[in-house]
Amino acid sequence: MSSPNGRNNIFDRFSTAVAEWSGKPIAFVLAVMLIAIWALTGPIFGFSETWQLVVNTATTIVTFVMVFVLQNSQNRDGRAVQAKLDELILTSQAANKFVGIEKLDERELRKLSDRLEEQAKALDDHADDIEEEKTSAHPSFSPDGIKPSASEELGEAVDVRSLRSGAQQNETRRRTRSGAISR
């Protein structure tokens, strides 16, 4: 986060640097090497309690600090993703009521997810009905072999692919959302 003067605060810069560095393969290799060195020094120190305490204390401290560092980084990344999604919602034909839904409680999110699932199923059923209507026996067929629907015969174009695509996108969003909720 930026401070009023435009600079990142020290903890944000520190947590970003640590999160980026700790995710690199060299960090893993370094950790494995340190544990190997510690294990190899066991006979030298007679596998004493002090020898064991060194690694236990070090790993506990590193783990404790990393929880806060990584959570800070994850929180900022999450806020940035939400801001980007909100911008996409606002600039698209999506319903603006979805801006900020990440702040809803679990019950409200579940309710919204169920409602969207029902809408996706209804759209999918509607697309199936149109597709069945197009493929049923009819004397006139379009150049691609699909019979025009009654609404198309009346001059009202219905794009089955876009209806099905919309239903599939809604289903994908629902699954993604419910997967994110259960994590």
- As averages over each run of 10 residues, the pLDDT of the chain (183 residues) reads 59 90 95 96 94 95 94 90 88 85 87 88 87 67 52 44 55 56 42
Each residue of 70-81: b (16+ CB within 10 Å) or e?
eebbeebeeeee
Per-residue pLDDT at 135: 73
Per-residue pLDDT at 47: 93
CB 117 within 8 A of CB 125: no
Checking phi first, is residue 46 left (phi over 0); if not, alpha (psi -120 to 50) or beta? left
Per-residue pLDDT at 1: 46
Residues 149-179: tens digit of each pLDDT: 544 444 444 444 454 555 566 566 555 555 5
- Main-chain dihedrals φ then ψ at residue 141, nearest 5 degrees: -125, 150
Per-residue pLDDT at 158: 44
Those residues with Cβ within 8 angstroms of residue 173's Cβ, 6 or more apart along the chain or in another chain = 116
Looking at the chain, the whole-number percentage of residues with pLDDT higher than 90 is 29
Work out the angle at residue 124's Cα, subtended by the Cα atoms of residues 166 and 92, and round it to the nearest 5 degrees.
15
